[in-house]
Amino acid sequence: MDLSVAGILLLDGVANGAIYALLAVAIVLLFAVTRVIYIPQGEYVAFSALTLGLFQLGQVPGTVWFLLGLAALAALLDAAADLRARTPAAAAVRRALRTLAFPVAVSALAIWLAPHKPPMAVQALLTLALVTPFGPLVYRLAFRSLADASVLVLLIVSVGVHFALTGLGLFFFGAEGFRNPSFWDARFSIGALSLSGQVVIILAATAALIVMLWLFFERTLQGKALRATAVSRLGARLMGISSDAAGSLSFAMAAFIGALSGLLIGPTTTIFYDSGFLIGLKGFVAAVFAGLASYPAAMAGAMMVGVLESFSSFWASAFKEAIVFTFILPVLLWRSMHDPHPDEE
Amino acid sequence: MPPRASSPGAPPVASASGGPGGAALRTAALAAFVVLAAALPQLPVPDFWITQANYIGLYALVAMGLVLLTGVCGLTSFGQAAFVGIGAYATAYLSTALGLSPWLNLAVGLALTCVCALVLGWITLRMSGHYLPLATIAWCLALNYTMANMEWLGKFDGILGVPPLSLAGIDFTRARNIYYPIWAAALVGAVALLNLLDSRPGRALRALNGGVTMAEAMGISTFRYKVQAFVIAALLASVSGWLFAHFQRTVNPSPFGIKWGIEYLIMAVIGGVGHVWGAFAGAAVVKLVEDQLQVLLPRLIGTAGNFEIIVFGIVLVLVLKYAPQGLWPFASSWLPAPRRVRDWEHAPPLAERARPAPGTPLLEVERVRKQFGGLVAVNDVSFSIRGGEIVGLIGPNGAGKSTTFNLVTGVLAKTGGSVRFRGEDITRLRSRHIARLGISRTFQHVKMIPAMTVLENVALGAYQRGGSGIARAMLRLDRAEERRLFREAERQLARIGMASQMHEPAGNLALGPQRLMEIARALCADPVLLLLDEPAAGLRHHEKQALAGVLRQLKAEGISLLLVEHDMDFVMNLTDRIVVMEFGTRLMEGTPAQVQASPAVRAAYLGTEH
């Protein structure tokens, strides 16, 4: 291996690492606010890449029907609960509208626009708008009523959600894989290195999202409410912060981050309905590196995972995945030496 | 489900009804099940049934390991399929490439599994419980990719032509024959686990669920037990893999992937993750339903694919939401609840520790200090206790009394200062080592295992006075020792007036009796020094008087006491000396009369006039 190959691998690793960093940040965020170890984070990545792929073909993506189905189910469950609690009709209707309005509006827009093949940027925005509402809906359907359960129960539930979402992904998207076109076809040469426009976009989008998250958590009331919930759910509740709303918001943010990652990774590899799992788990290795607690450490871990992956695909491509996932063992060993905090629930 | 249940299957508090006949009926039900299982292949049933039964037995072996891990210990693993794979690949490779006997390969597979599980457990189990499942997902994926890419393991095609099992001339090629080793392994495994759960190490394992502080304070090494539980679960999976290889006669990577790792957990959860027999129920339901769904769903949907995982994923979520106990409790409610037969009356008593002569120095606390960040919770507090003394520790709320307790007993690490017990420096010892030296304690907030009976909870206190390990418990070689432990537990319960409630699940008790139960548990450890954190809280007047009588009796027997209590009548009438704390510092020390006369103590409790 010479320096230029190493440079290419490094660049490749950093680009992938940036995407894992986004996922790791979402995983840490969800764990901090809701204590859910959210295994299906990668599913959003696959859904978003496939949605964009189908928009490219001028088809209405299965995401639309998937989203409408979840929203209808959530509204139905809400209505049943309202009926049992004898909620005033006006309040029940308002709640149903809150659940249904956005998914229905976005779906209608997608159905209307899809055959016209709108510009790529519009397709990307539509994709984000279609995938993001999955977050609060999944929270509503699977996790909300279990808010007081132990981390272990929530983890097992999240594995159940992974199973259900993967199977439904196959149903709504089919078994076909998609590789999306690049957002930006430019190429730049820096010495021996060649930098593609897509890599520039990945790095820029990741950096922008991190800055936005930082501003959100530091400068906005909602961001501070999420941080308060992460420190103490009970304390936050006593200050008037609804832990339901915090959970819903953090799931929405995680879904948005997942959808964005899907847009970014789509042009670099072929994505199938079940590709998200492995991509998400690489985010997990990074999040575990951070003890599921620190955002900067999660990003550092993600870069390491990305670089390790690209170098091992050069040296031992058949064992690439095995090497990346075995990497979690030294990470855990290091963590247990560094910060062994036994649990006391 | 109850708020903050520590594991999905922490069994709810059941009523202790059912007479001594319950155990006999349960044994009869088990015998009937064994007879039916043994007769099944001899009956004129279709071959397909036998094949299904074989799969159910194989899956149940894996699922029962998860019952131990998840339902009993509050840990979990998504990587059990990888251990199945190790068992299967070990025997497939060794018997085809090297022609070794399958029986030898079983030992090799178990040894390999044991090493892998020890490494994984040793690395992850020191940390919070959620690192083990994450590590097992990654490990299962890594191992699966490795199997699928190794030339000598046949890559994705795996290994074909694995020889059948044979033993003493019996050939196990046919499904009807290999049925016997499979179900023998499953039933032996189930009975061994049931034996284990009803034993000294079993109580220690059950104490892991819901925090380690109490278990460690009973002298239990929680880390060691967590690792052992994980290894046992892995070994059960490995046996299943060994049988699987000789039943299928071929192995390939796909049945050992993460999808199966998750499905095993689904079986355990659906069947009832707190019950060993639930593993069988779950394995049967998942296997039979999966077969139906694989036919039905593609027909319904119109294309082929793994659509059954949608149903399993949704069912898993629904079970955890609405029936966290799984299916087994519905089945077992037909049988009367088992009740322990009282067979320990004539057991020899446990050996007791020598107690120090009254008045000799026992505990010397020297300027202990605890800081949480910038907050000094305990600020250089010193006091001492002599043999046969009752010392009170009082002070307003937030004075640092319970923190001082935790520093003395090693539950919290000290920022500074030293503690000596009977001349030995115990400053840096962990709580379980301190407990073994003869310091017992109760907790301000009761810590117990609600699903275990009062007697079993109290017997947990005598943990360090027994020595039976997991193997002895599984083989039922520990009964003589168990009788001695239960005799001691009943004696201590009788002493505090709770012998009549010993078969009651501890979770059924009111708060006052729960606190008394904790005292009996602490006494079971044969303490020299007993630390009681608010023992009288929640008791009625006459119960307090009875408790005071018991504590005086303990003092007369040479046991020293340190008690934190807010009931001033109780403290003043009982103690020899009192240490008063305020804002983390020692305000004064003296006899009850001196403390009552002190203006400083009055000011601390009531404030001063300006």
**Is A155 near chain B, with CB under 8 Å?**
yes
CB B361 within 8 A of CB B386: yes
- Taking a C-beta distance cutoff of 8 angstroms, is the pair B452, B205 a contact? no
Tokens standing for B174? 């046919």
- Would you state the pLDDT for residue A339? 65
Q: Judge contact between B394 and B401, C-beta under 8 A.
A: yes
**Distances in Å between the alpha carbon of B604 and those of A241, B144, B331, B419?**
36, 66, 59, 27
The pTM assigned to this predicted structure is 0.91
Encoded amino acid at A209, one letter: L
pLDDT at residue B104 in the model: 93
B159: helix, strand or coil: strand
| DSSP secondary structure string for all residues of B562-602 | EEE-S-HHHHHHH-SEEEEEETTEEEEEE-HHHHHH-HHHH
Going by C-beta distance under 8 Å and a sequence separation of 6 or more, which residues neighbour residue B230? B69, B75, B77, B117, B120, B121, B125, B132
Residue-wise pLDDT for A19-53, tens only, equals: 999 999 999 999 989 989 999 999 999 999 999 99
Read off φ and ψ for residue B531, nearest 5 degrees. Answer: -110, 115
Share of chain A above pLDDT 70, in %: 97
Query: Which residue's structure tokens are 């630390």?
Result: B531
Nearest to A148 among B4, B127, B301 (CB): B4
- Number of separate domains in chain A: 1
Q: What amino acid is encoded at B93 in this protein?
A: Y
B118 inside 8 A of chain A by CB: no
Burial label for B397, CB within 10 Å (0-12, 13-18, 19+), is exposed
Using the Cβ of A329 and the Cβ atoms of chain B, whether some distance falls under 8 Å is answered with yes
- In this structure, are residues B555 and B391 in contact, taking their beta carbons and an 8 Å threshold? no
Chain B, residues 571-590, CB within 8 A of chain A, namely: none
How far is the CA of A222 from the CAs of A22, A215, A269, B462, B488, in angstroms?
20, 11, 36, 52, 57
- The answer for A 37-56 residues in CB contact with B (under 8 A) is 37, 39
> In which order are the strands placed within the sheet that holds B361-372?
B375-386, B361-372, B416-421, B424-425
Task: Parse chain B into domains and list their residue ranges.
Answer: 51-258, 361-606
Cα B3–B9–B15 angle (5° rounding)? 85
In whole angstroms, what is the distance from residue B197 CA to residue B224 CA? 16
What ipTM was assigned to the predicted interfaces of this complex? 0.90
- Residue A127 located in a structural domain: yes
CA distance A150 to chain B (A): 5
Cα B481 to Cα B463: distance, rounded to the nearest angstrom: 11
Round to whole Å and give the CA distance between B343 and B486: 9
CA distance A321 to chain B (A): 7
> How many Å apart are CA B571 and CA B497, to the nearest integer?
21
Which of A34, A77, A313, A332 should one mutate to test binding to chain B, selecting the residue with the greatest count of B CBs within 10 A?
A332
Segments forming the whole domain that contains residue A33: 3-181+194-337
Q: Where are the alpha helices (DSSP H) in B462-540?
A: 470-474, 479-495, 511-524
Q: Which of B184, B157, B154 has the alpha carbon at shortest distance from B172?
A: B184
| In contact, A300 and A257? CB cutoff 8 Å | no
B174 touches chain A (CB under 8 A): no
Q: Cα(B601)–Cα(A93) distance, rounded to whole angstroms?
A: 61
Phi, psi of A148 (to 5 degrees): -100, 5
Residue of A56, A58, A100, A53 whose CA lies nearest to A76: A100
């779950």: which residue's tokens?
B282
Asked if residue A277 belongs to a domain, the reply is: yes
Contacts of B488 (CB under 8 A, 6+ apart): B349, B350, B459, B462, B465, B524
CA B488 to chain centre: 21
Cβ contacts of residue B500 below 8 Å, gap of 6+? none
Residue A282, both tokens: 């690489």
Q: How far is A340 from chain B (nearest CA, A)?
A: 5
Contacts of A139 (CB under 8 A, 6+ apart): A34, A247, A248, A251
Residue A344 lies in a domain: no
What is the distance in angstroms between the Cα of A158 and the nearest Cα belonging to chain B? 8
Q: What backbone torsions phi and psi does residue B65 show, to the nearest 5 degrees?
A: -65, -40
**A234 and chain B: CB distance < 8 Å anywhere?**
no
Closest approach of A289 to chain B, Cα-based (Å): 11
Cα(B177)–Cα(B400) distance, rounded to whole angstroms? 67
Write down the H helix ranges in B67-153.
Answer: 80-97, 102-124, 131-149
Does residue A115 register a pLDDT over 80? Answer: yes
Contact B320 A149 (CB under 8 A): yes
Question: For residues B60 and B276, what is the distance between their CA atoms, to the nearest angstrom?
Answer: 9
Q: From the list A164, A174, A326, which residue is nearest B142 (CB)?
A: A326
Instruction: Please indicate whether, in this complex, the C-beta atoms of A149 and B1 are within 8 angstroms of each other.
Output: yes
DSSP state of B452: S
Q: What are φ and ψ of residue A271, in 5° steps?
A: -115, 130
Q: Is the pLDDT of residue A257 over 50?
A: yes
Integer Cα distance of A244 and B572 in angstroms: 49
Mean pLDDT, consecutive 10-residue stretches, chain B (610 aa), reads 42 44 78 90 89 95 95 91 95 91 93 94 84 89 90 85 82 84 95 94 90 89 94 96 93 91 93 92 93 86 82 91 86 76 88 88 92 89 92 89 91 91 91 92 91 93 92 93 94 90 90 90 94 89 90 91 91 92 90 89 77
A-B contacts at Cβ under 8 angstroms:
177
Percentage of the residues of chain A whose pLDDT score is greater than 90: 57
Higher pLDDT pick, B387 / A193: B387
Determine the distance in angstroms separating the CA of B121 from the nearest CA of chain A, rounded to an integer: 11
Residue A146 forms contact with B (CB below 8 Å): yes
Measured from the Cβ of residue B590, the count of other Cβ atoms closer than 10 Å reads 15
Contacts B262 to A, Cβ<8 Å: 159, 162-163
> In angstroms, what CA-CA distances link B187 with B26, B123, B211?
15, 32, 31
Helix (H/G/I), strand (E/B), else coil: B8: coil
- Rounded-to-integer distance, Cα B120 and Cα B135, Å: 8
Q: Chain A, 242-301: which have a CB under 8 Å from a chain B CB?
A: 278, 281, 284-285, 288, 292
Residues of B in contact with A292 (CB under 8 A): 130
Q: What is the third-level CATH fold of B361-606?
A: Rossmann fold (3.40.50)
Contact B356, B387 (CB under 8 A): yes
Nearest partner of B129 among A286, A336, A230, judged by Cα: A336
Tell whether B405 lies on the interface with A, counting CB pairs under 8 A: no
CA distance B18 to B340: 10
